[in-house]
Amino acid sequence: MLARLGTALLGLALAAAVLVLPSPAQAVTPTEYASAAFSTTNKVRANHDRAKLKASTCLKKAAVRQAKLMAGKSDIFHQLLGPLLDGCLLTMVGENVAYGYPDGKTVVRKGWMKSPGHRANILRKGYTHMGIAARKSDEGVWYVAQVFGTPLS
């Protein structure tokens, strides 16, 4: 009887131990990555008394194109922003790029906000819209492009 009780208690202890073990990290999709980066950018802006940025389809397309190019080449670089002024009908445009960060919150808080130039883009009062995209390289490294703009009136 005591042996069975001991076995039952050991079984319960093992079951409890399994319940408290952390689960493996969930795979992040490009959409989830970008969505987290977008919302984190707006939270950071709100914490610095800046208006929330609105989503822009045109800037999103530019960000997707850039993230795909960087991931495809496993290299980080900026795109030419001049064509976006006319292409997206903007008065101002800027870009942040990054690679190697595991998720959208981290790229904003531990990447861009720790860099003076990237931080300035995120907090620039003149920007009203944003597009952001993330893609993984064949090696599994995330590449991210964040494009800011202010549309013509």
What pLDDT digit, counting tens, does each position of 49-60 carry? 999 999 999 999
pLDDT tens track for 93-139: 999 999 999 999 999 999 999 999 999 999 999 999 999 999 999 99
**Ramachandran category for residue 100: left, alpha or beta (phi over 0 → left; psi -120 to 50 → alpha):** left
Question: For residue 76, which phi and psi values (nearest 5 degrees)?
Answer: -110, 130
Structural tokens at position 59: 């800037």
